[in-house]
Amino acid sequence: MAKFPIFSCNFPLIFLLSSFYFLTVQPISSSLLKSLNNNPNFDSEIALFGDAEPVDAGSYVNITRPSVSSSGLLLRQKPFKFLDANLSSPTSFSTEFTFSMTPGSGDGLLLVLAPKDFGSTFSGKGPFGLNGENQFLGIEFDTEMNGNVNDLNANHIGVDVGSFVSLTVGNVSSLNLELNSGEKLKSWIDYVASSKRLEIRLSKLGEPRPYNPITAYGIDLLGMWKNEDVYVGISSSNSNGNSSQISSVYSWSFRLRNIPNSMHSLPVNPRGYLDEHGEHLSVHKRRVCPLTVLAGMIFVTGCGALVAFVVLFLWAIIISRHTVFPAEFPVKPVEFRYEKINVVVEKDADSVKKQSI
């Protein structure tokens, strides 16, 4: 009986220790997913790790804080395969997200794909918080100049495979944009498995999707990962000792596409396809090509001329059938009979007598 009071006295302490362990050890995603579920601008499978936290009642997410060594991660918890036994062709993907970065130096923003759940091992150390990760594909939106990793300048987009040495770089300054101006930007990233081509596009929020990518890279992701589970996330960090940059994400969608190998075309907006649940998504408008408009006008003019010719031809046939011409009768010779008539003029007697006097 003496043990019961001891247990009852220690129960509050045990409860507090258990709660502290749960909050510190478990990922913060379990408490934040509920807030993001109410935001239609984010997919429901997204979890948050590190310093990533929803802001303004969950309307957007700050991945980093304005402090040194801050890092955070948005992770899509549902993995996918580039080689799926249920699909007839390799898997392609399209993703788009809206973001901003405050002025100042920092690592920037990284869209990362890796063949393991790197959220569960997210340490927050190293560039973009991916310390020790060497099997990944990264598209970096870099705001720091580092010539050792092939950085073009402090305002570029690079494609990284297995390391942060960029294999191809796009100059954001050529678009008259600045990544860390605090302005909201939107990026489209598309991968087509049939052409093994990755394309990245960027513009201001509210502007149409660019027709030409800022940079592109040929890569065989199916050959890299085959039927492994692949996770995708958006990461940011302030690994530089003087950095205090805030990276924010306002929307993010990720869609898988299955394209037959016979089709070989430019990747398109993810909202122009069916999503994983079979729901149809709206098609994003593209720029109209002047040659397409001219060809359409010529085609319409030709069709109009052909229709007019057919109508006139049928009208002529109908009119010719209903025209009434006067009847013609044969002309026959008519015989005339001539008779000789003798006229006798008689003069009276008075006129004769007058002539004789």
CATH topology (fold) of 45-257 = Jelly Rolls (2.60.120)
Beta strands in 102-167 (DSSP E): 109-114, 137-142, 156-161
188-226 pLDDT, tens digit per residue, is 999 999 999 999 999 999 999 999 999 999 999 999 998
Separation between Cα atoms, residue 230 and residue 254, nearest integer Å: 13
Sign of the CA dihedral running 159, 164, 169, 170: positive
SS3 content of the chain, % helix, strand, coil (to 5): 25, 25, 45
Looking only at the bridges linking them, the beta strands covering 53-55 and 60-62 are antiparallel
Q: Is the pLDDT of residue 32 over 50?
A: no
Task: Find out whether 107 and 69 touch, Cβ atoms under 8 Å.
Answer: no
Structure tokens at 226: 């085959």
Separation between Cα atoms, residue 165 and residue 149, nearest integer Å: 4
Mean pLDDT confidence for 177-181: 93
Q: Is the pLDDT of residue 291 over 60?
A: yes
The H or E element that residue 353 is part of is: helix 349-356
Sign of the CA dihedral running 308, 310, 311, 313: positive
Q: Is the pLDDT of residue 160 over 80?
A: yes
Task: Find out whether 221 and 296 touch, Cβ atoms under 8 Å.
Answer: no
Task: Spell out the domain ranges in the chain.
Answer: 45-257
Beginning with the edge strand found earlier in the chain, give each strand of the sheet holding 71-80 in spatial order.
46-50, 71-80, 230-237, 109-114, 137-142, 156-161, 168-171
Q: Is the pLDDT of residue 60 over 70?
A: yes
Mean pLDDT confidence for 301-316: 88
**Residue 102: what pLDDT?**
93
CA 2 to centroid of chain Cα atoms:
70
Name the residue type at position 59. S
If one compares 337 and 152, the residue with the highest pLDDT of the two is: 152
**Residue 352: what pLDDT?**
47
Structure tokens at 324: 């009434």
pLDDT-wise least confident of 72-86, 117-131, 330-344: 330-344
**Residue 281: what pLDDT?**
40
Percent of the chain past pLDDT 70, that is, above it, reads 69
Mean pLDDT of the chain: 77
